[in-house]
Amino acid sequence: MKLFLIVSCLFSTICAQHAGTNIPEAAPQITIEKCSSGGSCQQEVSFITLDSNWRWIHHVDDSVNCFTVNEWDQQFCPDVSTCTSECALDGVDQANWSATFGIQTSGSELSLKFITEGPFFENEGSRVFLLESETKYKMFSLLNKEFTFDVDASQLDCGLNGALYFVEMEQDGGLSKYPTNEAGAKFGTGYCDAQCPHDMKWINGEANVQDWVPAENGEPGGNGHFGSCCMEMELWQANRKSQTYIAHACEVNEPTRCEGQDCGDDASGDRYNGVCDKDGCDFASYRMGDTSFFGEGSSFQVDSSKPVTVVTQFITDNGSDEGDLVEIRRKYVQNGQVIENSKVNFDGVSDYDSITDDFCTDIKDLFGDVNDHQKKGGLKAMGEALKRGMVLVMSMRDDHESYMLWLDSNYPEDGSGPGVERGP
């Protein structure tokens, strides 16, 4: 019976992760610029889409919820294939972007709010992707190039995280690869990252309803049996107290649904047995021993109470787009001044100011961290993903599990020695 259901899913169009038609999608426009080394820039019109995880999931024939707060409806979602065929993801219309989800664009600017008391529910955080057209993500191939953005984190306090990063998703969100995915990039499907998140409601065009555990204390979301893994290059995880950039390589070179050990779950003690480097190799100024580099006020070299321009350069071994990634370099610009990155400030370790494989090895040695970065292929592997192309993600979130202590406080809480202090 089960087999029959699965087969019918593959060959019948009725059984699918549908795209709902109750609310027409109205993707907000945003402009970006593509520049050449001579300094000439061209504007590109792009769009923002909201990750499917935040979207309304309802019964395909009407407007009854398939998913409410943290639970799947028992009637429509008794199993994966029924749920996948009975439920649809829907659009976000013009009014709902801002009123319900706290997301707004204007020209080349995007603003994300954390809590939005909308007309239908209280929304917490968001995750958006850049589209090049209504149905396709914009793929960035950043090897041997630099990426620049301005950010204003002045309203973001400790424990919050406003992030900008790249992940190796499918350009169409998995629409063509998975026959049961009828929604695709337009509806923000196909998210994956190096933490192999289990909280995705849909993976590979199927509801992640198996073994679903609702989030505790009535919090939104939950965790399903499967995780969604892929390479991740984080340019900015930050609030006004602290910031970091992190390379996370994986042993998989495309979005990959995981289960069991491959997901690298902490709960089963498998953190370093999964397919992705969950720790990553991070350059966080505060953690690297320069506590006066980034923070609020003019006494810091980079003043987080004002907007700052963040530049990241992906340098190859032979200065060509085909070379191997050997260095990820960071610069800041504020008040018209270029500010070079802070330097590692610990006895016995060179004063590195960028991510290189040597930096990762030496700093992990000093901190007593596992060098999973090297094990998962190091910068060369990360560079291959940057060459293949990655999708731009911008998000706003908090962290119910570890309260973002790894970003802006002491982590582990009872730890001591170099590498424990990550912010004030």
Q: Based on the shown chain and the rule CB under 6 A, indicate whether residue 318 belongs to the binding site for ligand NAG.
A: yes
Q: Based on the shown chain and the rule CB under 6 A, indicate whether residue 62 belongs to the binding site for ligand NAG.
A: no
Q: Based on the shown chain and the rule CB under 6 A, indicate whether residue 26 belongs to the binding site for ligand NAG.
A: no
C-beta of 5: minimal distance to ligand NAG in Å? 30
* Nearer to ligand NAG (CB atom), residue 322 or residue 414: 322
Which of 40, 298, 299, 320 touches ligand NAG (CB under 6 A)? 320
Q: Based on the shown chain and the rule CB under 6 A, indicate whether residue 120 belongs to the binding site for ligand NAG.
A: yes
Which of 54, 56, 226, 283 touches ligand NAG (CB under 6 A)? 56
Please tell me the distance from the alpha carbon of residue 324 to that of residue 335, in angstroms, as a whole number.
34
| 222-261 b/e (C-beta count within 10 Å ≥ 16 → b) | bbbbbbbbbbbbbbbbbbbbbbbbbbbbbbbeebbbbeee
Question: Which amino acid is it at 155?
Answer: Q
Nearest to 285 by CA among 421, 397, 161: 421
The Cα-based distances of 220 to 67, 82, 201, 217, 336 in angstroms read 10, 23, 12, 9, 42
Please tell me the distance from the alpha carbon of residue 229 to that of residue 264, in angstroms, as a whole number.
10
C-beta of 75: minimal distance to ligand NAG in Å? 20
Which of 96, 237, 301, 341 touches ligand NAG (CB under 6 A)? 96
Q: Based on the shown chain and the rule CB under 6 A, indicate whether residue 251 belongs to the binding site for ligand NAG.
A: no
Q: Based on the shown chain and the rule CB under 6 A, indicate whether residue 23 belongs to the binding site for ligand NAG.
A: yes
C-beta of 317: minimal distance to ligand NAG in Å? 7
Q: Based on the shown chain and the rule CB under 6 A, indicate whether residue 95 belongs to the binding site for ligand NAG.
A: yes
Strand, coil or helix: what is 228? strand
Strand, coil or helix: what is 36? coil
Which of 5, 26, 71, 93 touches ligand NAG (CB under 6 A)? 93
* Nearer to ligand NAG (CB atom), residue 54 or residue 165: 54
Which of 300, 323, 384, 403 touches ligand NAG (CB under 6 A)? 323
Residue spans of beta strands (DSSP E) within 51-178: 57-59, 67-68, 71-72, 87-89, 103-106, 109-112, 115-117, 122-124, 126-133, 136-137, 139-140, 146-151, 161-167
Tell me the two tokens of residue 21: 């038609």
Instruction: Give the binding range for ligand NAG (CB under 6 A) out of 198-206, 245-253, 262-270, 317-325.
Output: 317-325
DSSP string, 306-344: S-EEEEEEEEETTSSTTS-EEEEEEEEEETTEEEEPP--
Q: Based on the shown chain and the rule CB under 6 A, indicate whether residue 187 belongs to the binding site for ligand NAG.
A: no
* Nearer to ligand NAG (CB atom), residue 159 or residue 323: 323
C-beta of 308: minimal distance to ligand NAG in Å? 33
C-beta of 96: minimal distance to ligand NAG in Å? 4
Please tell me the distance from the alpha carbon of residue 78 to that of residue 419, in angstroms, as a whole number.
46
Q: Based on the shown chain and the rule CB under 6 A, indicate whether residue 322 belongs to the binding site for ligand NAG.
A: yes
* Nearer to ligand NAG (CB atom), residue 93 or residue 146: 93
* Nearer to ligand NAG (CB atom), residue 80 or residue 87: 87
Instruction: Give the binding range for ligand NAG (CB under 6 A) out of 41-49, 258-266, 314-322, 353-361.
Output: 314-322
* Nearer to ligand NAG (CB atom), residue 217 or residue 318: 318
User: Cα 141 from chain centroid?
Assistant: 17
C-beta of 26: minimal distance to ligand NAG in Å? 10
Instruction: Give the binding range for ligand NAG (CB under 6 A) out of 13-21, 94-102, 192-200, 299-307.
Output: 94-102
Please tell me the distance from the alpha carbon of residue 131 to that of residue 391, in angstroms, as a whole number.
9
Residue 219: count of CB within 10 angstroms of its CB: 12
- Let me know: does 342 contact 393? Beta carbons within 8 Å: no
C-beta of 134: minimal distance to ligand NAG in Å? 19
Q: How far apart are the first and last CA of the chain?
A: 57
Residue spans of beta strands (DSSP E) within 208-324: 213-214, 222-223, 227-229, 232-238, 243-248, 256-258, 281-283, 294-295, 302-303, 308-316
* Nearer to ligand NAG (CB atom), residue 128 or residue 153: 128
C-beta of 197: minimal distance to ligand NAG in Å? 23
Return residues touching ligand NAG (CB under 6 A): 23, 56, 93, 95-96, 100, 120, 318, 320, 322-323
